[in-house]
Amino acid sequence: MHYELKNHMETIVDQDLRKLMAENGMCDCDRCYIDTMALALNHLPPKYVITRVGELMTEIDATVVQQQADVLGAILNAIKIVKNKPSHET
């Protein structure tokens, strides 16, 4: 049996990132998306889980109010930074 290590925080951030980018009038190209994802994740604690390869992860701690606030704050801060200074020509 093969296992993989996954930072579940990536899944949590990814759930709303594109929607929040659109709501904030941000470019939705892959470069801006990945830059925003990286910045947000760098300001959040990792949540590592071990799963079998191909197995769906169950949500852990995604409904905790403080964590939701922290995730939203990190995403919105990252959106502001990347929107004001994208890595590509506008």
**Is 47 among the domain residues?**
yes
User: What is the tally of structural domains in the chain?
Assistant: 1
**Distance between CA atoms of residues 10 and 83, nearest Å:** 20
**Is 17 among the domain residues?**
yes
Q: pTM of the entire structure?
A: 0.81
**Is 69 among the domain residues?**
yes
Mean pLDDT, contiguous 10-residue spans, the chain (90 residues): 87 93 95 97 91 62 67 96 87
Give the pLDDT score at 42: 97
Domain hosting 25: range is: 3-54+62-84
* Torsion angle defined by CA atoms of residues 11, 4, 48 and 41, in that order, rounded to the nearest 10 degrees: -50
**Is 89 among the domain residues?**
no
**Is 13 among the domain residues?**
yes
Give the pLDDT score at 25: 96
**Is 90 among the domain residues?**
no
